Amino acid sequence: MTRTLAALMTLLATGIAGAAEPKVEIVGHRGASFDAPENTVAAIKLAWEQKADASEFDIYLTKDGKLVVIHDATTKRTAGTDLKVADSTLKELRELDAGKWKGAKWAGEKLPTLDEMLATVPDGKRVFIEVKCGPEAVPEMDRVIKASKLKPEQTCVIAFNADVIAATKRACPDLQSLWLVSLSGKKPKTAEELIAKAKEIKADGLDLSATPAVLDAAFGKKVKDAGLKLYVWTVDDVELAKKMIAAGAESITTNKPGWLREQLAK
């Protein structure tokens, strides 16, 4: 009787623990960017330590055709020196310090290359590569991804530029690619408009701003019924995260992956 009761309690405890896990993918925005300098190797490694399911980062094509990880078109905000990425060589960009702006402990962090970021991804995790430039980056991105150790399902490509998504699906049809769209503004696009465009560019889904005034359960159902994935960004508020999950979001990008996972598990 005692053994039976103990076994039952263990089973219940396991079920409760399993139920507590967030039923949504948690994605580190530019790595664990609340705690570490965004878009650096340190930030993405911290995202893995914080048990993020995936991590997002941004890429630009350099003057010499390499892919460097940075959000802005220039290096001013995160590296101090004001260089335009597209007009600079990788060597010039790598001479900058992309960490000290976040604090002395991060001094010496470099602007990473795409291959350096992909090399950090553990088994069972994946990355979201946001292409910040145009379709010209796709051939080099395809080359680097294929040269990495990652399986196709571990890499997702996202972009606001619909032409980038269309080019990615032509060059890398086995990679999941999602169209980024902001729903903020006076006249956001309707679900029907977004679905039509996503189908046109052969996107696998939509990655939308977490805008509850627009993105509700009815909106989410239309997207899902169209056979498209529904992901959202950038959520650092647990109540907003819950609203997005209720609307049908399968994946949430956040600056605080560890914190958000803990809050959703309560």
- Residues designated as active site: 29, 71
Helix (H) or strand (E) holding 262: helix 257-264
Question: Using CA atoms, how far apart are residues 170 and 174, in angstroms rounded to an integer?
Answer: 10
Which residues are CB-contacts of 36 (< 8 A; sequence separation ≥ 6)?
A: 42, 43, 46, 102, 106
CA-based radius of gyration for the chain: 20
Nearest to 121 by CA among 94, 148, 158, 157: 148
DSSP string for 19-35: HHS-SSEEEEETTTTTT
Question: Using CA atoms, how far apart are residues 28 and 47, in angstroms rounded to an integer?
Answer: 6
Nearest to 40 by CA among 93, 104, 92, 112: 112
User: Hunting for tokens 């079920």 — which residue is that?
Assistant: 15
The 3 state secondary structure assigned to 73-128 is: CECHHHHCCCCEHHHCCHHHHHCCCCCHHHCHHHCCCCCCEHHHHHCCCCCCCEEE
Nearest to 176 by CA among 25, 66, 30, 8: 25
User: Hunting for tokens 């993105």 — which residue is that?
Assistant: 215
